[in-house]
Amino acid sequence: MSGSSIQTAKSFTLLIVDDDERARDFLQNTFESAQHQVKVAADAPTALRLLHREPCDLILLDIELPGIDGLALCRLLRAQEATRRLPIIVISAHDDEERKVSAFAAGADDFIVKPATRRELLSRVGTQIEAAQRERALVGSNRELGFLADLGRGLLVALEPLQVVRRVAGATYEAANAALCAAMLELPQPGDGEQARAEGGTTSAVTLSEAAACVFDREGSAEGGALIDQTKLRRWLATDPATSGRLEDPAEFFLRDEAHRIEYVAPLRFEGRALGALVVAFDRAEDCGETESRLIDAAAQQAALAARISSLYEAARSSSASLAKEVERRTAEAEAQRRFTEAIIDTLPVSLYAVDRNHRIVAWNRNRELGGQGIPRGEALGRNIFDVLTRQRRDILEREFGRAFETGRMERIEQESIAPDGTAKHWLVSKVPMRVGGDEVSHVITVGEDITTRVEANRAVARTEKLAAVGRLAAGVVHEINNPLATIAACAEALETRVAEGAFGQSTEIEDLREYLSLIRSEAFRCKTITNGLLDFSRNRAGQHAPVELGEVLEAAARLLRHQKRSRNVEIVVDATDVAAVSGDAGQLQQAVIILAENAIDAMPQGGTLLLRTRNEGAGVRVEVCDTGVGIPQENLARIFDPFFTTKEVGQGTGLGLAVCYGIVTEHGGRVAVDSVIGRGTTFTLVLPSLSEERLDGGRVS
């Protein structure tokens, strides 16, 4: 018999459905080079046959397929239980809104336009698989929590061995979606082993005469265990197994049923001895995953404790002289079970608390103690929930609990909170109604899961897609912009030549003319550099990076801003301390600073102060662009870097500036943050990695 083991896959299995052979080959090479397993199909029937034979982790599905198109196949997969939650990415050579809407309406999780780069494909496939894994983990955790709570309550009143095996087998059969489930508990002869145990002797000499057994099969339940090969199972228990086992050889099976393909057997162990076994059979090997294995093992642990409690009850009932002692022992072990159940709830990676109909807190797990409010369990239990969760609006909480108590339906709500350090945290909060002793909802369990990573990843993917659109737009207009820029530069050079030749005489304004012409010519060439950089960005080519002094970048940006008419009422202050150099494109970094500065000036229509400041920050350099303007509303902060999002009036802004700034900083390996208060101003912060002294001196950096 093979031992129980669950291997964590180092690669994923992907199914590519595309009738274009070249596209299939490209996708197959892309994912196989990343150590993934790849299956390919040219049409929908072939794909369905492959899925029937072997499951996969994600499907890349082309819309244009012969016969049944990709959208019809997507809807079919979403209608089937086995593939309903399988991540599906639709790929298409057409980038139109109607196709995308149709794809998402059919149930697609993502939409990729051909041709896509290898990095984009790997990134988006990885994102979807990680999201699916997190969803499965949450479903598994909720499933285990509900199962263990229900089983624990049932076993508390199971005082006889037959009651124990019936409750354990029935609950495990339902929770694990098994084909068959059997529980067997060996019964000692009265006055033999238990008497020796009561007198402090060994239990190895217990004489086993019969067993309490129950089987739940496809037609219902049956006591007596006729489907169990008890002889083989007892031989296995005689080896005193310490761990669970996964059986895939029919010759080793304990259940007499020819249809199933795999068995998972867990010993009911208590105090170092196997009291019985829990055997669960599945028709398919993939039906017995990590979640099912943990669930069966947890059920076996609770069943072992319940079996021990039932044996104590039997001994107490048969011997009135030792009744008080046995009841005391049973009570102590029941308390151990309660503590064990609490430990399970505390170990779950979620925040959990429960309230009764009077909104009094009756449960408060470990993660709630360690949460943002950090309230110890002893200070929370028994109090009104509205007196504890003071940071949340009472009217909203009352409505949420009211719906749960009135409707009896579970509700999931996504919430956002601000941590003490100012960062945003995202939560998936589930309100779970619970009924104790009647049909009316008596309690509501609130389970909170931190989904900040998932939300930020989704936003990053969306922002990357929009920036890619900006790149494509820039590529289309760069050539049209370069021609007038070249004309401007040529005219400026011609005028400079005429000034140098004395064509304008010795006017007192001649020096201003020289300065303005030089400024026009240099800025025209800088614009040309920027447009070429945008063209390189749209083609995924990085610019030439060199050591850059950010103080000089800020000074140059300030000089340009002071020549603008709209900055007349704005005081521009540069605080460029001696900071480390960074590696980058000076023109692009100056463009990013000017974009932020011009937005700051626009936010101060009545005048104010614009501060450009640099500071060293750990292994990076911090650049701050601060204004004293009107500020940015909180609801707009999450969207300000989205392409084409603007709050300015029509004709006064395209909404591309901050998106381009974000792309430049990201390309340089940095990050962008914003802090704004309405009526007091806004501060944009850029943090770029600095160069070490060895690198600046031409030495090698280890």
Q: Quick: pLDDT tens for 310-364.
A: 777 777 666 665 666 777 888 888 888 877 877 776 777 677 888 898 889 888 8
Assign 265 a pLDDT band (cuts: 50, 70, 90).
very high
Least confident of 478-487, 634-643, 689-698: 689-698
Least confident of 143-152, 351-360, 520-529, 566-575: 143-152
Question: What pLDDT is stored for residue 381 in this prediction?
Answer: 83
Q: Is residue 413 a contact partner of residue 396, using CB atoms and an 8 Å limit?
A: no
Q: Is residue 564 a contact partner of residue 519, using CB atoms and an 8 Å limit?
A: no
Identify the architecture of domain 451-541 in CATH: Orthogonal Bundle (1.10)
Residue 289 has pLDDT above 60, yes or no: yes
Q: What CATH homologous superfamily does 542-702 map to?
A: Histidine kinase-like ATPase, C-terminal domain (3.30.565.10)
Question: What pLDDT is stored for residue 495 in this prediction?
Answer: 81
Q: Is residue 168 a contact partner of residue 183, using CB atoms and an 8 Å limit?
A: yes
Question: What pLDDT is stored for residue 614 in this prediction?
Answer: 93
Find where tokens 């219902």 sit: 220
Assign 146 a pLDDT band (cuts: 50, 70, 90).
low
Residue 701 has pLDDT above 60, yes or no: no
Q: Which of 361, 365, 401, 404 is nearest to 384 (CA)?
A: 361
Residue 654 has pLDDT above 70, yes or no: no
Mean pLDDT of 210-218: 82
Q: Where does 13-116 sit in CATH, by number?
A: 3.40.50.2300
Q: d(Cα 252, Cα 56) in Å, to the nearest integer? A: 29
244 φ, ψ (degrees, to nearest 5):
-75, 165
Assign 698 a pLDDT band (cuts: 50, 70, 90).
very low
Question: What pLDDT is stored for residue 161 in this prediction?
Answer: 84
Which segment, 126-135, 376-385, 688-697, is predicted with the most confidence on average? 126-135
Q: Is residue 612 a contact partner of residue 558, using CB atoms and an 8 Å limit?
A: yes
Q: d(Cα 411, Cα 576) in Å, to the nearest integer? A: 53
Assign 498 a pLDDT band (cuts: 50, 70, 90).
confident
Assign 540 a pLDDT band (cuts: 50, 70, 90).
very low
Question: What pLDDT is stored for residue 692 in this prediction?
Answer: 65
Q: Residues 6 or more apart from 124 whose CB is under 8 A from it?
A: 89, 110, 112, 461
Q: Is residue 599 a contact partner of residue 657, using CB atoms and an 8 Å limit?
A: yes
Q: d(Cα 212, Cα 163) in Å, to the nearest integer? A: 9
Q: Is residue 194 a contact partner of residue 315, using CB atoms and an 8 Å limit?
A: yes
Find the Cα–Cα–Cα–Cα dihedral 665, 666, 668, 671, rounded to 10°: 70
Q: Using alpha carbons, list the distances in angstroms from residue 463 to 47, 196, 603, 639.
A: 33, 72, 24, 9
Sign of the Cα torsion 472, 473, 479, 481 reads negative
Which segment, 161-175, 358-372, 614-628, 662-676, is predicted with the most confidence on average? 614-628
> Would you give the distance in Å from CA 260 to the centre of its chain?
35
Instruction: Say yes or no: do domains 13-116 and 451-541 share a fold.
Output: no
214 φ, ψ (degrees, to nearest 5):
-150, 140
Tokens of 383: 């109090």
Assign 683 a pLDDT band (cuts: 50, 70, 90).
very high
Residue 193 has pLDDT above 50, yes or no: no
Sign of the Cα torsion 390, 391, 397, 401 reads negative
Q: DSSP string of 508-535?
A: TTHHHHHHHHHHHHHHHHHHHHHHHHHH
Question: What pLDDT is stored for residue 16 in this prediction?
Answer: 92
Question: What pLDDT is stored for residue 197 in this prediction?
Answer: 44
Q: Is domain 351-447 in CATH 1.10.3720.10, yes or no?
A: no
Mean pLDDT of 241-254: 90
Find the Cα–Cα–Cα–Cα dihedral 584, 590, 592, 598, rounded to 10°: 170
538 φ, ψ (degrees, to nearest 5):
-65, -25
450-462 pLDDT, tens per residue? 887 887 777 767 7
Residue 693 has pLDDT above 50, yes or no: no
Q: Residues 6 or more apart from 39 whose CB is under 8 A from it?
A: 13, 14, 15, 16, 50, 54, 56
Question: What pLDDT is stored for residue 622 in this prediction?
Answer: 92
> Would you give the distance in Å from CA 263 to the centre of its chain?
32
Question: What pLDDT is stored for residue 625 in this prediction?
Answer: 93
Question: What pLDDT is stored for residue 326 in this prediction?
Answer: 72
Question: What pLDDT is stored for residue 478 in this prediction?
Answer: 67
Q: Which of 444, 329, 459, 344 is nearest to 397 (CA)?
A: 444
Tokens of 286: 């993939």
Assign 204 a pLDDT band (cuts: 50, 70, 90).
very low
Q: d(Cα 565, Cα 602) in Å, to the nearest integer? A: 12
Question: What pLDDT is stored for residue 689 in this prediction?
Answer: 92
Mean pLDDT of 485-489: 80
Assign 699 a pLDDT band (cuts: 50, 70, 90).
very low
Mean pLDDT of 683-699: 69
Q: d(Cα 603, Cα 363) in Å, to the nearest integer? A: 50
Question: ∠ at Cα 151 (145, 154), nearest 5°?
Answer: 140
70-124 pLDDT, tens per residue? 899 899 988 888 888 889 999 988 888 888 898 899 888 899 988 888 898 888 8
Q: What is the mean pLDDT of the chain?
A: 79
361-395 pLDDT, tens per residue? 888 877 766 555 567 777 788 888 888 887 778 88
Q: d(Cα 629, Cα 607) in Å, to the nearest integer? A: 8
Helix, strand, or coil (residue 260): coil
Q: d(Cα 126, Cα 131) in Å, to the nearest integer? A: 9
Give the start-to-end residue ranges of the domains of the chain: 13-116, 138-347, 351-447, 451-541, 542-702
Q: d(Cα 351, Cα 449) in Å, to the nearest integer? A: 7
**Would you identify the CATH topology of the domain 138-347?**
Beta-Lactamase (3.30.450)
23-57 pLDDT, tens per residue? 888 988 989 888 889 999 999 899 898 888 888 88
Residue 7 has pLDDT above 60, yes or no: no
Question: What pLDDT is stored for residue 398 in this prediction?
Answer: 84
Least confident of 97-106, 271-280, 440-449, 651-660: 651-660
Question: What pLDDT is stored for residue 223 in this prediction?
Answer: 62
